[in-house]
Amino acid sequence: MKEIVKYLINKKMEIDNRELDKSYLRAKKRVEKLKKYYSHVSIYLMVNIVLSSYKVYKDLVRGDSFEEAIFEGDNFSLWFWWGIAIAFHTYNTFSENLLFMNKSWEDKKIKEYMNEK
């Protein structure tokens, strides 16, 4: 009888360890995803600030006014197109936590509508 109990306890511990391993791997994957996202955003900001500053400087040297140099459409094209990629990356990284996209919100709303008369 003791052997059966020991066996069952060991099996339970193995199952718990597997669940912990799965949880750890999910958490680690999530952290890696966040790290890549924040790196992407940092590079986006640094590169765009440097390139936009260079373009504005070039326009000022060419004789444009400060206002013309700042608001020239070409200065914003990289911000715009790369920003679209950032938007997709943001959705990919945070989609499970978005207000209207997560399962708990759906469950809450379903219960709320079921309780209405």
For the stretch 72-83, pLDDT in tens is 888 889 999 999
pLDDT digit string, tens, across residues 6-45: 665 666 666 666 776 777 788 888 899 999 999 999 999 9
52, pLDDT greater than 60: yes
Closest CA to 36 of 83, 88, 89, 108: 89
In the prediction, which pLDDT does 100 show? 62
b/e map of 63-92 (b: 16 or more CB within 10 Å)? eeeeeebeeeeebeeebeeeeeebeebeee
Prediction pTM value? 0.66
Tally of domains in the chain: 1
**Which range marks the domain in which residue 42 is found?**
2-84+91-115
